[in-house]
Structure 1
Amino acid sequence: MKILEFHELPVEDRLRLLVDGNVAECATLEARLEPILNALEAHGGEWMPDVIEGRRRRKYSRTAISKTLEEERTSGSVTIGLYRTTAPALDMTLSLGSTASPAELGISATLQPLSFFSRKERCREFIETVRAWARHIPVTYAMAHGMADRQLAGAPYFGRDGTTSRRDGFDKVYELFWLNIFGPKLVESVGRERMLSTPAHLVEALPNGSVLLVLRPSAADFASEEARVAQARAHVHLRPDLDFDTVLRTLKERSAALVPVEPRFHPDVAPFLSRLPDEFAISERQRKIAEFNAFRPPEVEEWLPVGHPSDVANPERVLESYGDLSEGLVAALHTKVPSIMDETAESLTDLDFYFWQDNFPERYTRELIDSHTAPALGAYLGDVLVRRLGGTWVLRQKLEESQVRVGKRVWLPFLRVRRYMQSRQSLLDYSLTQFFHAVERYRP
């Protein structure tokens, strides 16, 4: 069964759900999970999981869950993954602590795309699912919100260090999300009457003393002007110490940070830059696109109008040594960069991305880079110019002076690579992708 994997899908905002609670000791793990599964099957609808995974992956069914629990029960705690094979993509985890009473229970789910929840009926069923869980299990805290905006809000630490955050949890109303469940302790600290009078789409007292609060009918319109005003008004109601205008301004700034930015990358580096925004948190993606739109790499300077003549006594042996260097690079990286075997412009872009993603210049020792990686990469880059652009090697005893003649210029691949391998920023400033396209313009 092939499940939908987020890393294989286009980058889009997602709905993030977290539920922290506990369950009383029961005779079986099945009994502990029964109310969760009942609610999921009754209200999951179009986002209902169809695959369950523990030690093995199975098609979703109660029988499959029983088998998975049987396999997991010896570990003291149980974690079950739930997924979908068709859109919307789902990555859901049910975590149940040891047999102590009460046992900790955690539910986390991520659904892509967030736009799936533009329809109010889907949101209503989602709310009903969470409400049903909270009616059967004591929930200490729960939230559901767009992932990007949640990141911008500073969750889960909200300005605290990790140790403090884990110790104190959601001990005050740091932020209001689309869907919230506040546990009894927090409700009492805020004031039950104040909590239940919050201006919101839905406010409901739950059996264990918790309160369910939903800001708007739809989860997907959180960034609209109307939604931000409602969010600020509710937040300030629960936190009278906060200033409404300040809260609203912060929310609007978050909305502005998520407005889609059209990629307009410099054409010589566009194949490389277009792959980078997806490497950042989804909340940072638009800002990074804007930064890369503004990026202009330095002009390529690794060339000469008139080349130095070859000064090597045995050109065939030198070319053979370059071939050995290049083959060594291919052997070392062919599993991580499969296209390296093709020696094309696309191979160079794949190498740019690999070295940047790996932060290669700053992760490995300078001795390794200068004595092994850079010479091998320079030889490989030169071979690509020869093979794809009709270049000719002009060999020199000093490696950085060796040239590849293309058109009326001679180009210095080893010098380019030395500059390229100085830092992560230099991978952008002196990319192999840009170098190839600069040389390409002078191809006869």
Structure 2
Amino acid sequence: MKVLSVHDLKPEDSLLLTFDGVYKARTALKTRLAPFLDALEKNAGGWMPDVIRGKRQRKYSRSSFFQALGENDEDNDPGIGLYRTEWPALDGCFDRWLSRKPPQLGVFLRVQPLSFFADEQRCLHFVEMVRAWASHYPVSHAEAHSTADSNLAGSPCFGRDDQTCFRDGFDKIYEVFWLNVFGPKLVEEVGRERMLSTPAWRVEELPNGCVLLVTWPTAADFASEEARLAQARAHAHLRPDLDFDTVLRTLRERSATLAPVEPRFPPDLAPLLSRVVDAVAVHERQRTITELNAWRPPEPEEWLPLDAALPPDVADPERVLEQYRLHAEYLVALLHTPVPSVFKSTPESLTDVDAYFWRDDFTRGRSREAIDEHLVPAVGAYLGQVLVHHLDGRWIPRKKLLEAQVLAGGRVWLPMKRAWRYLRSRQSLLDSSLTQLYREAERHRS
């Protein structure tokens, strides 16, 4: 069974749930977890997991769920994965920690796309599931919200260092999300009466002292003006030390940051820049599109007019050309697994190489000496080979590596020099992309 990963879909926002609850360890495991599975199976509906992954992958059933838990307990690994094979995608994890006092279970669910939760009835079922869980497994805090907006809010640390965040957890109302469960300690800190009088779509006291609070009927339109107003009212009510207008302004700014932006990329680089956008975190996508819309790469300088071409100055041109081929093969050997198209040596494979180097931030953490000695010749030779094969080019070998030329069309191109500029930094991978130089050479082919 091949699961549908969130990475298999077009990058977009998702609904994220984090839930850590306490349960009684003295009863049988199946009895302890029956309320969890009952609520999941009753309410998940169209996003119900159909794959369980422990030591191995199985089709979902209650028996396979407990089988996977038992196998992982043998390896002291408390977590099992929850996935789907069909749209919408689910990336989930169920954990339990018997060593903690009291024992705890944890649930992480990410359902993509968030637009799946535009339906009010579907959201109501989701709320009922979390309500049932929180009623049986008391929490200190649980939340469900847009993944992108949660990231913009700074969740889960909210500006604290990791050590403080891990030690203190959600010890005060840092943020009010679409769905919230506040544990008894937080409720008493705020004041139970104040908590229960919060202006929100749903506020309910649970039998164990937790309070369920949902700001708006549907999760998908969290960024609408009406939903933001409801979110701001609830937050300012629970934190009277905060100014409502300031809270609302912050939420509106987050909505603006996430508002869709139409890409207006240079045609030559649109395939590459679209890949760059897809590689950044969802909450950074629109900001990245805006920045790339305003950015224009420098015109390629790695060329000479025909009458300025440097003549061959090597004693054995064939030997040097063979060395160029070996350099190009080194890049193929280096990248053939993450970039399979590198075998084809096509213009499209140049874009794949550009996207991979940028996504991996390939120049970071590698010595300049190693890059210049090994990677520059490999990238330059590979670029040169593509120019030769696809633009009827011809190498003009030179003793100095950076002077190696390819005669193609009405110009002489310097692929090694381009590779040297290209591999200076992550930004230079875009400013001096292999894709752009090839497309420029293609225009001067005739």
TM-score, with structure 2 as normaliser: 0.97
Match of residue 7 from structure 2: 7
Q: Please say if residues 93 and 108 of structure 2, whose CA atoms lie closer than 8 Å, have aligned partners that are also in contact.
A: yes
| SS, match of residue 268 in structure 1 | helix
Tell me how far apart the structure 1 counterparts of residues 169 and 26 of structure 2 sit (CA, whole Å).
26
Maintained 8 Å contact 2:391/2:409: no
The one-letter amino acid paired with 1:409 is: R
Instruction: Provide the secondary structure at the position in 2 that maps to 1:115.
Output: helix
Q: What residue number does 2:347 align with? A: 345
1:200 is matched with which residue? 200
How many angstroms apart in 1 are the aligned matches of 2:244 and 2:160?
23
Is 2:106 the partner of 1:80?
Answer: no
Partners of 2:239 and 2:330 in 1: how far apart? 62
Partners of 1:109 and 1:298 in 2: CA distance: 44
Cα deviation, 1:306-359, whole Å, max 9, x if unaligned, reads: 212222222112111211222222222222221111111111111111221222
CA distance in 2 between counterparts of 1:42 and 1:242 reads 39
Q: Is the 8 A contact 1:29 1:69 kept in 2?
A: no
Secondary structure (helix, strand or coil) at the match of 2:268 reads: coil
After superposition, residues 301-312 of structure 1 pair within 5 angstroms as 301-305=301-305, 306=307, 307-312=309-314
In 2, distance between residues paired with 1:26 and 1:424? 55
Output the CA distance in 1 between the equivalents of 2:387 and 2:55.
49
Residue identity over aligned pairs, in percent, reads 61
After TM superposition, the structure 1 = structure 2 runs for residues 256-267 of structure 1, keeping only pairs within 5 Å, are 256-267=256-267
In structure 1, what is the equivalent of residue 292 of structure 2?
292
- Kindly provide the amino acid, as one letter, of the partner of residue 202 in structure 1: R
8 A Cα contact 1:344 1:388, kept in partner: yes
> Which residue does 1:373 correspond to in 2?
375
- 1:438 & 1:297 partners in 2: Cα distance? 12
Shift of 1:208: 1.2
Work out the CA distance in 2 between the residues paired with 1:150 and 1:290: 21
Report Cα offsets for 1:240-269 as digits up to 9, x if no partner. 111111111110000001111111111222
Q: Distance in 1 between matches of 2:230 and 2:161?
A: 29
Q: Secondary structure in 2 aligned to 1:422?
A: coil
Residues 362 and 90 (structure 1), Cα distance of their counterparts in 2 relative to 1, 3 Å cut? closer
Tell me, in whole angstroms, the C-alpha distance in 1 between the residues paired with 2:329 and 2:74: 50
Say whether the 8 Å CA contact 1:76–1:97 is kept in structure 2: no
Q: Given residue 336 of structure 2, which amino acid in structure 1 is its aligned partner? A: H
Secondary structure at the aligned position of 2:310 is classed as coil
Shift, 1:271, TM fit: 1.9
Alignment check: 8 A CA contact 2:16 2:111 kept: yes
After superposition, residues 145-294 of structure 1 pair within 5 angstroms as 145-294=145-294
CA contact (8 A) 1:25 1:100 kept: no
Aligned to 1:89: 89
In structure 2, C-alpha distance between the alignment counterparts of 1:359 and 1:99, rounded to whole Å? 40
1:324 to 317, 323, 326: 326
Aligned-partner residue type, residue 417 of structure 1 = A
Deviates further, 376-385 or 95-104: 95-104
Contact 1:25 1:99 in 2 (8 A): no
Q: Which residue of 1 aligns with 2:395?
A: 393
Consecutive unaligned residues in structure 2, runs of 5 or more: none
Contact 1:94 1:108 in 2 (8 A): yes
Please say if residues 330 and 341 of structure 1, whose CA atoms lie closer than 8 Å, have aligned partners that are also in contact. yes
After TM superposition, give the deviation of residue 32 of structure 1 in Å: 2.0
Secondary structure, aligned partner of 1:204:
strand
Question: Given residue 38 of structure 1, which amino acid in structure 2 is its aligned partner?
Answer: D
Indicate the RMSD between aligned Cα atoms, in angstroms.
1.3
Residue range with higher mean Cα deviation, 298-307 or 357-366 = 357-366
CA distance in 2, matches of 1:12, 1:376: 35
CA distance in 2, matches of 1:393, 1:150: 53
- Please say which of residues 279-288 and 100-109 is displaced more in the overlay: 100-109
Q: How many residues align?
A: 444
How many angstroms apart in 2 are the aligned matches of 1:101 and 1:296?
Answer: 57
**Contact persistence 1:77–1:98 (CA under 8 A):** no
Pairwise CA distance, 1:99: 5.6
Specify the code of the residue in structure 2 equivalent to 1:65. F
2:405 to 399, 403, 420: 403
Q: Which residue of 2 aligns with 1:438?
A: 440
Q: Helix, strand or coil: the match of 1:139?
A: coil
Distance 2:150 2:100 in 1: 32
